[in-house]
Structures are given as C-alpha cells and as structure tokens.
Chains A and B, each alone.
Chain A
Amino acid sequence: MNIIKKLANIDRRIIFIVIAIVVIIPLIFKPKFPIVVSEPVQKAYDAVNNLPEGANVMISIDYDAASMPELQPYLEALLSHCFMKDFHPILIVQWQLGAPLGTQALEKIAAEYNKEYGIDYINLGYRPGYVAQMVGIGREIRTYFNSDYKGDLIEKYPVMNNIHNYDDIDLLIGLEAGATGQVWVQYAGARFDQRIVLALTAVSAPDAYFFFQSGQIEGLVGGMKGAAEYEILVDKPDMAVAGMAAQSFAHMLIILFIVFGNIAYFVDKRKKNKAKGGIK
C-alpha cells in the first residue's frame, strides 16, 4: 500500500522521462506494428482514387507548424497520390502560418514526380477572410485568387484555364487543425454541394465524425494514425508509419498510468473510509 501511495505522488518529471524513453526506443529500433486501414480513411482514399482522369483537386492548408507532425505526412502522401494519378492539385491556404508548409510539401513531391508548376499543379497561397472566400469561390475563384502565391497572374498558367468555381473542382480536401473544416462543410458543402474530404488533427477529428456519418464529407483522415493508414494505401510508408510504433507504446504506457492511477485512487479512498469507521 505504501508503494501505491508513493507511486501515486510520483514527481511528474519522472513520468515525462518514462514517456520520452517509450517514444524514443521504438523510433530507433523500429519494431513492426500492423496498421489496419479504417473505413473513413479507406473512403478518403477511394474518393481521390476514383476521380476521373485529369481531375482538379483543391487542397486547403488550414494548419500551421504546431500540427505539422500530424498533417504534413498526410499532405505528402496525398500529393503523391494525386501526381501518381495525373490529377491537378490546386493548393490554397487558410492559415497564414501554414503557407510555407504547403509550399514545402508541394515542391518536394512535385519534384519527385517531375511535375511542372502551372501545368500540372499550382499554389495559390493565402488570402484573408476565409468565409467570404469560401462563398466567393462558388461564383468565381479569380475574385479572391487572381494571382498565385508569388503574385503572378493565374491567367498565365494553363492549369487554371478551365477553373472558375466549385463546378470545376472535382474534390476539395481540407487539412484541418481547427474549425475551418466545419466552415468548408457549411459553405462549400451545404451551399454548393462540393465533394469534401477532411484530414484533421486527432484533437479535431471527433468533431468531424458526424459529418462523415451524415455523408457531408466523403472521407476522414484523423491524426498521425490516419496519415499512416493513407501512406499504407498509397504504398509509400514514411514518417507517419515510422511513428506508429512509438505512438502505440506511448498509448499502452498511458493506459497503464490511467489504470494504476484509478487503483491508487480507490485504494486511498477505501483507506480513508476505513479510518472514518465504515466502508461506503
């Protein structure tokens, strides 16, 4: 009992060190953990995979560096998927601090597949006022994005020739670290019937499952786990797959902490009740 009491009052810094060790060791030794593809991720993959040849895929970067480990692996896997199938990714940014992350991934993956800027893909960059913009794209994308992220007029890029509004965008994919995804569903989805797939941080994912259940979004990729599943689907295991073993070990440890913490709580409560003269 004394040990339980001591462990219940353990210095939190020791817990931090234990978690760090549990995360670092699997990253170094890379044990293989099975990754089972869930239905929402499979549907997100199918939504992209079944698009017609030369489809235009709008990708909205709605996250910043704080969510990079969760969403950047998915962005890279998604861009690989698009370029493999010769689709045309159109990158837009709703979170200004996410602009360099989107650009970085787009340039890296486009170079891997020898794709040409302005012909195979385009980066339209960030514009302020996302609600007005989401509604505005429904009429004419040029009202908000008449130039790309470098400030060059989009008219000079053939990829934008036939793109005017949501009717010309086959699929919208939002990478979300906050509530912007819900706004996409509310405006682009509800008002303009735009097909949408959302990839969210694990914190935000529970807030989007009801959109998936109601059919308002066609697929849902949640956190690093979802990104790892997508990497498996596009047969390009990378950072997310590499992180899943560490993720699993850390989860097991936290489950142990929770179980142990509850045992310690009930033991302590029982002792206190005994001391008072009766067990309730």
Chain B
Amino acid sequence: MAISTSIWIWIAALLTLSIYSFLYKDNPFYKFSEKILVGISIGYTVSIYFHNTIIAKVWNPLVHDHNFLVIVPLILGLLMFSRLFKGKAYLSRIPIAFVVGTGCGMSIPSSFENLFKQVQGTMPQVFTIGNIIILIGVLSTLIYFFFSVEHKGIIGKVTRVGITFIMIGFGAAFGATIMARISLFIGRIQFLLGDWLGIIS
C-alpha cells in the first residue's frame, strides 16, 4: 500500500491529528476541528430531521395526499415554540402533556413486562453456582438500597455483601470503558497507518 492520494482521506487524517493534539494542550487546531465536528453534526441532523419529519410527515401528507389530520400534530408541534413568548408560554404544556401521556401509556405496560422477565430471570430454575451468585447479588444489593432500616447487625452484614457486588459491577463497567476507549484509538490508528499512510494493510 502507498500513501493516500485522496483529498478526503487527507482531510480526515489532519482533522484526527488536530483533535488528538489536545492531548498535548489546548490549541487552535483542536478548536477548529471541534467546531467543524459540531457544525457538521448539527447541520446533518437538521437536514435529516427536515426531510424525515417536515417533508415526509407534514408536507407530503398535507399537500400531496390531502390528509388534513396531520394539522393536529402540526399545531401541537408549533405550540412547543410558544415557550419563546413570555405571555403564551403556558400553551407549550399542551403538547408536553400529550407527549408525557402517550409516553407513559406506551412505556408502563412494557416496563412491567420487562420487569417481570427480569424477576423471572433472577429466580433460578436450576441451582448452579452462577445462579446462586446472581440470587445473592440481587438480594444483597437491593437490601443495600433499603434505607428504612439502619444498616447494623445482620442487615449490616448483608449490605456489606451488597456493596461488594456493586463494586464488582463498577469494576467491570470501568474495565469495559477502558476497552471501548482503546478500541476507538485503535480504529483511528488503523485509519492513519492504513488508509492514510499505507503502512499497514
């Protein structure tokens, strides 16, 4: 492989190096790249939302299909902007109430179904060491977060077991976070050494 001749690869490589230059110290190259990233991301998001929401869900049904029912959600959406006008800000409560109401209506039954499946998963059908550890871990952690009883005596001992499980959980999450960050760095190095410089294939 040889060094890339594509202008886009060069731009991406130089922007990557500019972002990493922050590790040395804050500098104009980093700030420039950061602003480009934010600007492009927002621009792209707005354009996607415009085409998938305003055009697909409002303009096309209204103008081409003559479906006037979409005026209802359109008005609800527009009422959200009433927050920008001091005297009329209360009108934004209507769409918010609608969103909260439908959100709760959709999520509450599913949350319960989800919760029951988790409870079922905690009840071991076969007594293996793994299942017993899960059972002890769940119970002791739940008791740790039960603050109506002072954590003394037997409860205190159980909560010590609970906090140990919580710490193991934090440790696993921290280890996974390190793995994720290193993976991102590996991805960038693969790009710089492979796509840009052509050192690795």
Contacts and interface: CB of A to CB of B under 8 A. Distances in A.
Contact of A251 (B106, B179, B193): B179
Interface string B166-201: 000100110011111011111111100100000110
A223 B185 CA distance: 13
Contacts of A127: 52
Contact of A191 (B53, B113, B172, B178): B113
Interface string B20-57: 00011000000000000000010011001100110010
A185 B114 contact: yes
Given A16-B23, A28-B200, A135-B106, A223 B45 contact: no
Contact of A70 (B113, B118, B120, B180): B180
B111 A186 contact: yes
Given A97-B45, A191-B109, A210 B118 contact: yes
A201 interface: yes
Nearest to A190: B113
A131 B103 contact: yes
A73 to B, nearest CB: 9
A201 B180 contact: yes
B45 A96 contact: yes
B179 A225 contact: yes
A40 B160 CA distance: 30
B117 interface: yes
B148 interface: no
A187 B179 contact: no
Nearest to A64: B41
Nearest to A243: B186
Nearest to B45: A96
Given A69-B188, A210-B118, A131 B199 contact: no
Nearest to B46: A96
B163 interface: no
A77 interface: no
B176 A223 contact: yes
B156 interface: no
Given A28-B199, A214-B117, A225-B179, A187 B186 contact: no
Contacts of B5: none
B136 interface: no
A24 B190 CA distance: 9
Contacts of B102: 132
Nearest to A227: B183
B49 A70 contact: no
A70 B184 contact: yes
> In terms of DSSP, what is the predominant structure of the interface of chain A?
helix
A219 to B, nearest CB: 16
Contacts of B103: 131
Contacts of B134: 213
Interface in A1-39: 13, 16, 19-20, 23-24, 27-28, 30
A203 B193 contact: no
A190 B119 CA distance: 13
Interface in A121-149: 125-128, 131-132, 135, 147
Nearest to A240: B183
B107 A186 contact: yes
Nearest to A239: B190
B180 A186 contact: no
A28 B193 contact: yes
A223 B180 contact: yes
A127 B102 CA distance: 19
Contacts of A224: 179, 183, 186
Nearest to A15: B23
Interface of B: 23-24, 41, 44-45, 48-49, 52-53, 56, 102-103, 106-107, 109-111, 113-114, 117-118, 120-122, 134, 169, 172-173, 176-180, 182-190, 193, 199-200
10 contacts: A19-B182, A20-B189, A23-B185, A69-B183, A69-B184, A127-B52, A201-B183, A205-B176, A224-B179, A254-B182
Given A201-B183, A216-B121, 14 more contacts: A24-B189, A27-B190, A28-B200, A69-B183, A97-B45, A190-B110, A203-B173, A205-B176, A206-B169, A214-B122, A223-B180, A224-B179, A239-B187, A239-B190
The 5 closest A-B pairs by CB, nearest first: A69-B187, A214-B121, A190-B113, A202-B180, A224-B183
